Amino acid sequence: MSERENFIKIISEHFSIWEVRLQNLSSLNLYDANSFSEYTITEILNLIFGYSLENLNLLKMNFPAIDLGDKINSLCVQVTTTKSRKKIQDTIDKFLEQKLNATYSEIFIVVLGKKQRKYSQFQNLGSISFDPDNQILDFRDLLRLIQSKPISTLERIVKILQSENSTSNKTKANPNEIKIKKNLATKRKLQKALLRKLERSDWELSWYEPWIGFVYSQILIRSVDDISWPNSEENSTGEISSWFKGNFSEFYENGIELITHGGRAIFDENGNWDLLDTFYDKRENNPKYEVKNYNLFLRIPFDYIVELDMDTDPYDGLPTMFVKYEKNNMPYESILYGIPGSYNLRRLKYIFDNEFRKLLE
């Protein structure tokens, strides 16, 4: 095997490692993990094309539309793991919206992986020309272009990729960091899909009744192991069904909260409380207790949420949230007792303190 062939083989293997690693990180919603690749792809593109690209995110965090820019050659690059036409069209739209065409006459898309086989015509190109066949590049395109480069250039690219992959392999991911990033990504995704923009006149109402901020009042909750929907389950064990409809309450710090019917509770003069039996309970008539109606607040943590499907179901017209039944065969990390807020009564939601739950005689 010639020296050239050996370098090409090594580069190809490193591209494959890079692609798989980024796919795995993206599957955990860790899209910001792609940022480290911008440095490496900048060096490689400059070597291949003789450009003077620089990482624009160093100049301004989350630089709009593009990641790399070369003012000398009047071109820029968006680096992405998303190959869809929509992603690329959104990039072009934002590029023009930000009037970046005044600085750069050409925009290239580099897909860190494998691009689509074919792209339909892009729209609203304005004053720029965009040829998908030549301006959307993936690892295979880069490998093809690298093959004809001098041996010295191939050797430099090999060293860059070896440094990239060895550094990434030595860096041990902090499980808590991954969990936090994944949960925040899930939160952003859910809020974007499920919440509507409130009119200013509704802001005060939403403080007391936060569920008005949701696009739908209910959502279909399905276990990832559910095979019974849309049929009702025959359940004699008392376990929760593998699918049900839930009413939105609000987002809480660790997930999304549903609200459902509850029952009645009694409180003594010291604030201690207990639940009344569903049917006759003689304590209800005891004058030393105050009786209050309560609701249940069911908290599903982001950890348990696998996916949200906004395509509404054909029976109730609701979106579906697929969840893991992680705790005691239920999708909740906690079930709270309390009283919902009321705008008319100017009453905020009140959750009963479990420390004061006692067995009241």
- pLDDT 10s digits, 86-145: 999 999 999 999 999 999 999 999 998 899 999 988 988 877 889 999 999 999 999 999
pTM metric for this prediction: 0.57
DSSP-assigned states of every residue in 160-211:
HHHHHHHHHHHSPPPHHHHHHHHHHHHHHHHHHHHB-PPPGGGHHHHHH-GG
DSSP-assigned states of every residue in 119-133:
-PPP---TT----HH
Phi-psi region at 29: left, alpha or beta (left = phi > 0; alpha = psi -120 to 50): left
Contact 95, 103 (CB under 8 A): no
Question: Cα separation of 323 and 326, whole Å?
Answer: 9
Element (H, E) at 214: none
Neighbours of 281 (CB within 10 A): 16
Place of tokens 């009453």: 347
Task: Give the residue from 277, 219, 288, 287 showing the smallest Cα distance to 250.
Answer: 219
CA distances from 192 to 65, 116, 178, 196, 261 (A): 20, 27, 21, 8, 27
CA distances from 70 to 53, 73, 103, 153, 172 (A): 4, 6, 9, 20, 34
Contact 219, 251 (CB under 8 A): no
277-305 average pLDDT score: 94
Helical axes 3-27 vs 151-170, angle rounded to 10°: 30
Neighbours of 112 (CB within 10 A): 23
Question: Cα separation of 142 and 114, whole Å?
Answer: 11
Question: Cα separation of 358 and 335, whole Å?
Answer: 17
- pLDDT 10s digits, 334-348: 999 999 999 999 999
Buried b (16+ CB within 10 A) or exposed e, 291-314: ebebbbbbbbbbbbbeebeeeeee
pLDDT band at 27 (very low <50, low <70, confident <90, very high): low
Least confident of 22-26, 41-45, 123-127, 178-182: 22-26
311-318 average pLDDT score: 94
pLDDT mean across residues, the chain: 89
3-class DSSP state of 47: helix
Greater confidence (23 vs 272) lies with 272
Highest mean pLDDT: which range of 1-5, 123-127, 356-360? 356-360
Q: What contacts 203, CB < 8 A, 6 or more positions away?
A: none
Neighbours of 25 (CB within 10 A): 19
pLDDT greater than 90 at residue 47 = yes
Q: Where are the alpha helices (DSSP H) in the chain?
A: 3-27, 35-49, 85-97, 132-135, 139-146, 151-170, 175-194, 203-208
* Res 33: pLDDT: 47
- Give the Cα-Cα-Cα angle 196, 200, 206 (nearest 5 degrees): 60
> DSSP character for 54?
E
pLDDT band at 178 (very low <50, low <70, confident <90, very high): confident
